Amino acid sequence: MPPFDLPEGDPFGTHNLPYGVFSLPGSDSARRVGVRLGDHVLDAGKAAYALGSPYAPLLAQDSLNPLLAAGRTTWSDVRRALTAWVTVPAHQEAIADLLHPLSSVTLHLPFEVADYVDFYASENHARNVGQIFRPDAADSLTPNWKHLPIGYHGRSGTVVVSGTDVVRPSGQRKAPADPAPVFGPSVRLDIEAEVGFVVGTPSQMGTPVPLADFREHVFGLCLLNDWSARDIQAWEYVPLGPFLGKSFTTSVSAWITPLDALDEARVAPPERTHPLLPYLDDSGAGTEPDGYDLRISVAINGHVVSEPPFSTMYWTAAQQLAHMTVNGASLRTGDLYGSGTVSGPTERERGSLLELTWNGRDPLELPDGKRAFLEDGDVVTLTAWAPGPDGVRVGLGEVTGRVVSA
């Protein structure tokens, strides 16, 4: 089938057009910006030059950062141009040779990550964690949880593209009955199914970003796996929070889906049960919904174990951005922030093994044996889709990673 003649309902059709960075085999192996169309990738920079587009300098790059920095108006203009290139027959003919099968290219981390922040925005996940670790508490949520989106600053240097192996981390761990901590590879390696948001337009230090400006700063989103060493995390996190139990690897998709491709997926967040301070209050008349109806699937060695619904997230990406900058902290092009583990209300919708196995008490039954936590050789794959125009689906690029021994 010719690259432009996609099957009806292809989740990576002309309604989607996510961005990535790829290279070709052989001598012409330079990294270049690409746009996915079905099971092909378009060399966006060369296509822009072939068609005499003014956006060629933004697209003929080895990362998405120049495009990210260009701002909302340019993002929308470039998307309209790309849509014309892949739908107008005369343009198709001019760029047909610039479409490459995905099977023939290497995909790379699509942008240079500036800062990385991770949140804790799912009430279902937070309650599950509270019940696991504080079973006798009157409330499974901490007192601050309904008043602000809790987050921590991660390590941008270990954000890797989908397909990168994950080396089992080593560190200190101490079980409750152990007399002293020991050092060694984690024996409770876990995943967290999340959505990552990619910042384009920077902000000035000292100037908070209000809720209404979310789409002026955030370019798009991607799937994210926040790999977690639960035993290392449990011993180290008091009193300052996660460190080595999280910082060893964070996997993201090779494809960034622009927010403009997800208009039909926007939904209102769950009803708030506590009044919010003004900078987080999104209940006003005329406020646009900034929740997203994303249907995530988590598979271990090809076996689906969970289907977390992103629409259930209590805190939205807009609220997270507002909270992240309310103290005057600035945004930089390439900032990445994770939603936190996505978990729904049912057991089948939990986004981590910590929850799915109830901290190892109830191991999962997989075709190749039981799992309380991940074993060496396990391959974890996150996929997702969102509702798109006219009933078609918008596919999100998968995130996959294989655990290798320490």
How much is the pLDDT for 292?
98
182-185/170-173 β-pairing? antiparallel
Question: Given 108, 125, 159, which residue is the final one in a domain?
Answer: 108
Q: Provide the 10 A C-beta neighbour count for residue 221.
A: 27
Out of 40, 108, 125, 217, which one is annotated catalytic?
A: 125
Q: Do 254 and 142 share a domain, yes or no? A: yes
Question: Given 108, 141, 175, which residue is the final one in a domain?
Answer: 108
Mean local confidence (pLDDT), 251-261: 99
Percent of the chain with pLDDT over 90: 93
Q: Do 77 and 141 share a domain, yes or no? A: no
Cα angle value 256/243/138 (rounded, 5°): 100
Mean local confidence (pLDDT), 198-217: 98
How much is the pLDDT for 285?
60
How much is the pLDDT for 28?
74
In a domain, 7, yes or no: no
Q: Do 255 and 358 share a domain, yes or no? A: yes
From 12-26, 132-146, 219-233, 274-288, the region with the lowest mean pLDDT: 274-288
Over residues 134-171, the pLDDT tens digits come to 999 899 999 999 999 999 999 999 999 999 999 999 99
> Has residue 405 got a pLDDT over 80?
yes
Question: Given 108, 127, 143, which residue is the final one in a domain?
Answer: 108
Q: What is the CATH number of the domain that holds 27?
A: 2.30.30.230
Please answer whether residues 31 and 21 qualify as being in contact, where contact means their C-beta atoms are separated by less than 8 angstroms: yes
In a domain, 9, yes or no: no
Told to judge if 125 belongs to the known catalytic residues of this protein, a careful annotator would answer: yes
How much is the pLDDT for 2?
66
- HEC profile of 344-406: CCCHHHCCEHHHHCCCCCCCEEECCEEECCCCCCCEEEEEEEEECHHHCEEEEEEEEEEEECC
Residue 61 DSSP code: S
> Has residue 238 got a pLDDT over 60?
yes
> Has residue 291 got a pLDDT over 80?
yes
Secondary structure (DSSP) of 158-221: GEEETT--EEPPEEEE--TT-SS-EEEE-SSEE-BEEEEEEE-S---TT----GGGHHHHEEEE
> Has residue 195 got a pLDDT over 70?
yes
Q: Do 213 and 348 share a domain, yes or no? A: yes
> Has residue 90 got a pLDDT over 80?
yes
Over residues 365-379, the pLDDT tens digits come to 999 999 999 999 999
Q: How confident is the model at residue 286 (pLDDT cuts 50, 70, 90)?
A: low
Over residues 93-139, the pLDDT tens digits come to 999 999 999 999 999 999 999 999 999 999 999 999 999 999 998 99
Mean local confidence (pLDDT), 233-248: 95
> Has residue 1 got a pLDDT over 60?
no
How much is the pLDDT for 15?
98
Q: Do 181 and 322 share a domain, yes or no? A: yes
CA–CA dist 130, 137 (Å, integer)? 8
How much is the pLDDT for 296?
99
Residue 40 in 3-state DSSP?
strand
How much is the pLDDT for 377?
98
How much is the pLDDT for 393?
98
> Has residue 43 got a pLDDT over 80?
yes
| Domain count for the chain | 2
**Token pair listed for 154:** 């991660």
Q: Do 354 and 284 share a domain, yes or no? A: yes
Q: Do 277 and 345 share a domain, yes or no? A: yes
